[in-house]
Chains A and B, each alone.
Chain A
């Protein structure tokens, strides 16, 4: 057994030194939902496929879907690292600590954690500024609602989701001062049964716009069944539900980032970085605004999108107060990414939103 191990490691060392060119770069992906969820995980899977397409024989990819957040994900990451992965993308917020733990055990493997904030020498973080897309959604929602009640299905009360709620709210409020948000926390990223129930309840309580920060298309189906309710595709276009109820969408586009990072590993130029791109860089896309939206609203929504894209407008521009009335941003001031009250750690509602952020 011992001799075998020594031989094996010697052989491995030889291939590592002599066969570096012939060896494939192995890239692993850890997914929180099934690849067919039609939302979040689906788009990461598109990114993986783009990597395969871009590098062909030079790359070997592997993925594990529906991995629970928390300790069990460490097992999956460790397994990938032991199988010789050079680069591992962990694609959900709840993988943050497991990624850091496993990365410490495998200093030669590069890790990329999505939507988190903990970096290490071999752990990069990347995320998209979904809140820019939420601003466009809020704008359309504020114009479109007749009941002035907008339902919002939250997943977990983490900064990414709270940013989305705040951004959608202030942009809806800007065009419709009477707008009211009803927020239901589903405590899951992907559970069609819960998501459908949450959407139905919001609709029953008068919401005629349902925004979702969960990954399945179940709320779209619920809105379609109810009729007269509009929704937005989440993470993926969800075009199958257009032109009603789905009137637009936020589309995550991870492919360019995944290809660039895989290339960096191949070239040996990979370093630990923090990437947070929005509409401008193409990481967040706004899906086609459907014919259900009046032309003038569509035009103003596209103008908003373009101003976010070229950087002439920041989605969080003062004057903005926190829920308790204290000043968050003075007039003309824009939110900073990091630091106290920065966007990265946002854990408070803005003025006008009812209810408390759950702990």
Chain B
């Protein structure tokens, strides 16, 4: 065993990269849930984003267009969910699960001719002096741009929900759609927009996986990341800053277990491999032990269908 071979600086830097896909998906789902909609289709939207972004980036040679198409793809799939749950008032849980299964299948079909292909490289921040600073350089100033985009998005969502009129309306819709409706707000419109934002974020998260973190396309490559994003939203008790914390903890554990293995720590590999999932479960259990706290913060209308006539 030789723990000194693990560099804390590089560990932090790589956990930021590892956490970015789930961070993007989770911050989108947070907005969706804040509007009172529970969309369990995050996994499906992520993987559609992963293949849509990959295909577009390979086709055009531009990762930026790839990310745009990933967001569009995720949003398009979420629109299916929006129409079904907002106009036809279908059950949100069942529709969300169906969306995940549909997304996994559709992405496998779309991706058949993209297996084993190299995507174009994405833009990495490389500032002359600052990126080479001893500790801060690798952690703060030499990442792929998606890492910064995800952080900016978290800050943006926090600001939007807390300080803008639009954010207030979104939260009102999520707390009591009847009251919001009585005040004259378009509940369905607000929710559809929130769902599409969530879809676009999940799509970006998928593309961060297929274009940056791996970078390659494989069937089912999200491998449960969407479910972890859902868990992180609950873990964060619907607060953007805590979503960031949750995603980084998860990313950290995932990277640390490989580091421990490479450093020769003699813990059976199986325990290390399951540790990220175990920690997610433990955190969720601890969170829900404080019932009132968690329940207080959950949007009151979460998962409930709305119809103006009721």
Contact = CB atoms under 8 A, between A and B. Distances in A.
B114 to A, nearest CB: 8
A216 B116 CA distance: 8
A201 B116 contact: no
A66 B220 CA distance: 11
Interface stretch (A105-113, A187-195, A243-251): A187-195
Contacts of B270: 187
Contacts of A205: 5-7, 259, 262-263
B50 to A, nearest CB: 11
A116 interface: no
Interface residues of A, number: 37
B71 interface: no
Contacts of A34: 115-116, 218-219
Contacts of A185: 261, 269
A184 B261 contact: yes
Interface in A307-359: 354-356, 358-359
Contacts of B255: 197, 201
Contacts of A193: 209, 213-214, 218, 221, 223
A201 B258 contact: yes
Contact of A200 (B14, B116, B219): B14
Size range of the chain B interface in the assembly = 20 to 34
A358 B269 contact: yes
B170 interface: no
Contacts, number: 92
Interface in A125-159: 151
Interface stretch (A2-10, A35-43, A48-56, A295-303): A35-43
Contact of A190 (B11, B118, B218): B218
A36 B116 contact: yes
Contact of A221 (B209, B216, B259): B216
B105 interface: no
B60 interface: no
A356 B268 CA distance: 10
Given A204-B259, A358-B268, A359-B268, 18 more contacts: A36-B116, A66-B219, A184-B261, A196-B213, A198-B258, A201-B14, A201-B261, A201-B262, A204-B6, A204-B7, A204-B11, A205-B263, A216-B218, A217-B216, A221-B215, A240-B118, A355-B264, A358-B269
Interface of B: 5-7, 10-11, 14, 18, 115-118, 121, 209, 213-216, 218-219, 221, 223, 254-255, 258-259, 261-264, 266, 268-270, 273
16 contacts: A36-B115, A36-B117, A38-B116, A185-B261, A187-B269, A196-B215, A198-B258, A200-B14, A201-B258, A201-B261, A204-B14, A218-B214, A221-B214, A221-B216, A355-B264, A359-B268
